[in-house]
Amino acid sequence: MKKFNLIIAAAIGIFLFSCSQVPLTGRSQLSLVDDAALQNEAANAYNQFLSDPSTKVISRGTDAQRVSTVGNKLASAINRYMQANGFGDKYNYKYQFTLVESKDINAWCMPGGKVAIYSGILPVTQNEAGLATVMGHEIAHAIAQHAAERYSQMTLAQAGGGILGAAVGGASQGTQQVIGQLYGIGGQLALLKYSRNQESEADRLGLIFMAMAGYNPDGAVTFWERMAAAKSSTGAQPEFLSSHPSDETRIAAIRKLLPEARQYYTGAKLK
């Protein structure tokens, strides 16, 4: 019993020591992963994905240019805000934006700002505002460090007392497992399933990010309405929506978040 109590006490101490806050939302989260090492592993996995023979990268044309334009606007705005508001270099990501030929309605962003947009989602995004909605949301997952949080939660739940060694002595050693377990690198990319709370947080941050970049956040509502219509017409659940709230719930929540995001669009909350 005494040993058990010591393990519990130590685990609680690590939990408190390893808590961080999500930028802008201020939510406390558990993080037992070395962020720099995680970003490095994500970059390696991203390059592996792009070099896979089954991945067809679209590097030229109007669509590829639009992905690059919107992505760079978002990256520039986010980096400026983070630097101006005392976040230092922690979120100064080396962004990459790649358009991939695929019928899938999907998009994702790995830790450190490694973004992939599938061409199947472009008929739904339609314009820069729609694309900024998608990309802002996916970048928000990276800024909020949702992948590291999910891995930390999984590790804590699975390892119990054994978490002490991983948290204290091997934080950086676990980064390959983060990518391997959460993103399933190797052959097909099995994308991370975020929690509903993380998806909602990414919606909130995504609205703010697109507003920072000069895109009217009201455009997010029309995008999600188009996404709901696309889902209804095909009868299939796009991968992009696999762990997301229902259409009605999401759109209603986004409408409530718009007043906050509009303040960044007008510059009222920007330095």
**Would you say residue 178 lies in a domain?**
no
Q: Are residues 200 and 74 in the same domain?
A: yes
Instruction: Determine the Cα–Cα distance for residues 225 and 187; give it in Å rounded to an integer.
Output: 33
CA distances from 123 to 223, 258, 263 (A): 10, 24, 29
E-assigned strand segments in the chain: 19-21, 28-30, 57-58, 96-100, 107-110, 114-118
Q: Are residues 196 and 216 in the same domain?
A: yes
Query: Above 60 in pLDDT, residue 264?
Result: yes
Confidence bin at 59 (pLDDT 50/70/90): very high
- Asked whether 61 and 199 are in contact (CB, 8 A), the reply is no
Q: Report pLDDT for 10.
A: 38
Q: What is the mean pLDDT of the chain?
A: 81
Q: What is the mean pLDDT of residues 86-95?
A: 88
Q: Report pLDDT for 35.
A: 80
Confidence bin at 89 (pLDDT 50/70/90): confident
Q: Are residues 199 and 154 in the same domain?
A: no
Q: Report pLDDT for 18.
A: 60
**Would you say residue 176 lies in a domain?**
no
Q: Are residues 159 and 97 in the same domain?
A: no
Per-residue pLDDT tens over the stretch 62-71: 999 999 999 9
Closest CA to 45 of 176, 150, 171, 140: 176
User: What is the number of domains present in the chain?
Assistant: 2
Query: Above 90 in pLDDT, residue 117?
Result: yes
**Residue 25 lies in domain:** 2-32+150-171
Q: What is the mean pLDDT of residues 129-142?
A: 96
Q: Are residues 114 and 231 in the same domain?
A: yes
Q: Which one of 128, 138, 149, 201 is the catalytic residue?
A: 138
**Would you say residue 271 lies in a domain?**
no
Confidence bin at 31 (pLDDT 50/70/90): confident
Q: Are residues 13 and 40 in the same domain?
A: no
* Predicted model pTM: 0.83
CA 149 to chain centre: 11
Q: What is the mean pLDDT of residues 198-209?
A: 95
Q: Are residues 85 and 141 in the same domain?
A: yes
Q: Are residues 16 and 122 in the same domain?
A: no
- Asked whether 66 and 131 are in contact (CB, 8 A), the reply is yes
**Would you say residue 270 lies in a domain?**
no
Query: Above 60 in pLDDT, residue 107?
Result: yes
Q: What is the mean pLDDT of residues 163-176?
A: 46
Q: Are residues 118 and 64 in the same domain?
A: yes
For residue 238, give every residue at least 6 positions away whose Cβ sits within 8 Å of its Cβ, in sequence order, or none.
Answer: 104, 105, 106, 121, 227, 230, 231
Q: Report pLDDT for 184.
A: 53
* Annotation says 149 is catalytic: no
Q: Are residues 16 and 128 in the same domain?
A: no
